């Protein structure tokens, strides 16, 4: 009887792992080698407390790998552009809001393990962070060359429309300030929140126009948070 229970339990576990592996393959477009890596990458600290179980370390690694892949892509795509242009383009492609939107479009939300009863997480950018962790997992599982191919095929080409981004003014904050000045509007960028998210500090900036909150943005520094908020405000005001 004990042997039967052990075999039964083992078959259930294998079935569960097989289901998870199939879901990962369907969403990410690759077959996981080390399934545990992907399970860790998809585990938010709201359900896994320790660094070896949640995705914060993989997020750190994936952030660096993704930045390197995109930098290499832009360097080769624009052989005659300067450092300033390349840096701005990379910021447009891998900013916090962009990555969160891509993660949601890919269907990463349904794979992520997080506290679904915490309402503050539903509107947060944990899925963009999770996407970075997944990049880290792919890198450890497949190596840099395969990761580079995967990032280009699954993230850059279908979701980062480089030609469109090239024409977007990166300094949306200045565009918004110019609009407010021209139309006699009072405008301020207010720090709404500052908290630790894992090992990094997350800033939330509100854009307030004539005393009313128009938009909100988040980032790991105030500049990125302000740009993210400005992007939302510019879209709402039809200034794009």
Write down the catalytic residue from 56, 59, 63, 141: 63
CA distance 38 to 137: 6
Q: In what order do the strands lie in the sheet with 212-219?
A: 187-197, 200-209, 212-219
132 is catalytic: yes
CA distance linking residue 46 with residue 18, whole number of Å:
25
* Angle at 17 (CA atoms; ends 29, 146), nearest 5 degrees: 30
Q: Which of 56, 59, 88, 132 is catalytic?
A: 132
Has 63 been annotated as catalytic? yes
Residue 203 dihedral angles phi and psi, to the nearest 5°: -105, 140
Q: How far is CA 62 from the centre of its chain?
A: 10
**The two three-digit tokens of residue 130, written as one number:** 């999770």
Could you tell me the end-to-end alpha-carbon distance of the chain, in angstroms, rounded to an integer?
69
Annotated catalytic residues are 63, 132
């Amino acid at each position: 009887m004990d042997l039967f229970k052990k075999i039964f339990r083992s078959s259930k576990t294998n079935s569960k792992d097989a289901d998870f592996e199939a879901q990962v393959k369907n969403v990410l477009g690759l077959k996981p080698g080390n399934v545990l890596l992907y399970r860790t990458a998809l585990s938010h600290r709201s359900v896994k407390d320790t660094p070896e179980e949640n995705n914060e370390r993989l997020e750190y690694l994936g952030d660096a790998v993704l930045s390197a892949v995109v930098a290499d892509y832009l360097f080769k795509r624009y052989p005659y552009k300067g450092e300033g242009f390349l840096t701005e383009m990379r910021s447009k492609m891998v900013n916090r809001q962009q990555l969160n939107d891509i993660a949601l479009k890919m269907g990463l939300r349904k794979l992520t393990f997080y506290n679904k009863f915490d309402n503050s997480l539903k509107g947060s950018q944990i899925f963009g962070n999770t996407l970075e962790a997944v990049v880290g997992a792919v890198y450890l599982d497949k190596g840099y060359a395969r990761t580079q191919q995967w990032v280009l095929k699954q993230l850059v080409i279908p979701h980062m429309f480089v030609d469109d981004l090239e024409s977007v003014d990166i300094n949306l904050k200045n565009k918004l300030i110019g609009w407010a000045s021209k139309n006699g509007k009072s405008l301020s960028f207010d720090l709404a929140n500052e908290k630790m998210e894992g090992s990094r500090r997350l800033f939330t900036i509100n854009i307030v126009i004539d005393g009313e909150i128009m938009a909100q943005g988040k980032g790991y520094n105030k500049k990125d948070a302000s740009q993210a908020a400005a992007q939302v405000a510019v879209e709402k005001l039809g200034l794009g």
